[in-house]
Amino acid sequence: MTPLLEACLNGERTPDEHPAIPRTPEELATDSRAAVDAGAAVLHLHPYDEAGRQSLAPDPCAAALEAVRAACPGTPISLSTSAAIEPVPDVRLKLVAAWEVLPDLVTANQGEPGIVELCEHLLAREVGIEAGLLSADDARLFVAAGIADRCTRVLVEPLDAEPETAVAHAAEMESIVTEAGIELEQVHHGDGIATWAVMRRGLARAHGTRAGLEDATVLPDGSQPAGNAELVRTAAELIAQFAQDSP
């Protein structure tokens, strides 16, 4: 089976970090189409409101979802539920509960307060959960939460800047999850230049991966990509390379 390739289009990145960061529904739709054409099978994005702030409010989320679905019919779309967008658990849950246009999936960082309640709410509404693990502690919390059998996949996402450290932490998180008997699909990715090292290790172990400007504004050689499509295309080439090299 070919490893999953997910595109992560924007996140908290600013235009100062890369000039092609998409934020408006129209920009997200354009980048989504280009990412799918480059090989992405799932799209992950952070909606922004008219004031240029990340938002979990129903209207910005609906606008982004509708624009991207029109551009990429049939491609699953994942929204963020990060506490960086709304740190107060009760407020976050209230905003998400007000969604009328639902994503196919959400990323849910397992180390955040109130995340299990949020996952339970979304699971009841048939929204898939991509369980985000940023650390070994997050992996242990996920195992203890007892929701793994209802989640769609695990995102192993160490945020270390140093590639060797990030790879070691990815291995630790993977070990905690697998030793607990959790057989969910895993997607391995990192941050900045380290994401490529984490990606390579994950692909060598037949895991999926994620690429896009949310995770990295550089290519493996440290140069700047034109945008999301080039990052996704590079990841797709790595997937093909590992598939060719595998026995």
Q: Is the pLDDT of residue 8 over 70?
A: yes
- Burial of residue 136, with CB atoms counted within 10 A of its CB: 0-12 exposed, 13-18 middle, 19 or more buried: middle
* pLDDT at position 225: 98
Domains defined for the chain, CATH in brackets: 5-245 (3.20.20.70)
* pLDDT at position 246: 65
How far, in Å, CA of 116 to CA of 122, rounded? 10
Structure confidence at residue 89 as a pLDDT band (50, 70, 90): very high
Q: Is the pLDDT of residue 38 over 80?
A: yes
Alpha-carbon distances, residue 82 vs 2, 86, 163, 181, 241 (angstroms): 28, 7, 24, 26, 33
Structure confidence at residue 125 as a pLDDT band (50, 70, 90): very high
Summarize the confidence of residues 182-203 as an average pLDDT.
98
Q: Is the pLDDT of residue 1 over 90?
A: no
Summarize the confidence of residues 120-146 as an average pLDDT.
98
Write out pLDDT tens, residues 160-171: 999 999 999 999
Q: Is the pLDDT of residue 73 over 90?
A: yes
Q: Is the pLDDT of residue 62 over 80?
A: yes
Alpha-carbon distances, residue 116 vs 11, 110, 124, 208, 242 (angstroms): 22, 8, 12, 24, 35
Distance in Å from the first CA to the final CA of the chain: 13
* pLDDT at position 108: 98
Contact in structure between 118 and 81 (CB atoms under 8 Å)? yes
Summarize the confidence of residues 137-147 as an average pLDDT.
98
Q: Is the pLDDT of residue 144 over 80?
A: yes
Q: What are the structure tokens assigned to 61, written together?
A: 């989320």
Write out pLDDT tens, residues 208-245: 999 999 999 999 999 999 999 999 999 999 999 998 87
How far, in Å, CA of 171 to CA of 158, rounded? 10
* pLDDT at position 247: 62
* pLDDT at position 157: 98
- Burial of residue 58, with CB atoms counted within 10 A of its CB: 0-12 exposed, 13-18 middle, 19 or more buried: middle
Summarize the confidence of residues 148-154 as an average pLDDT.
98
Q: Is the pLDDT of residue 79 over 90?
A: yes
- Work out the mean pLDDT of the chain and round it to a whole number: 97
Structure confidence at residue 176 as a pLDDT band (50, 70, 90): very high
pTM of the predicted model as reported, rounded to 2 decimal places = 0.97
Q: Is the pLDDT of residue 57 over 70?
A: yes
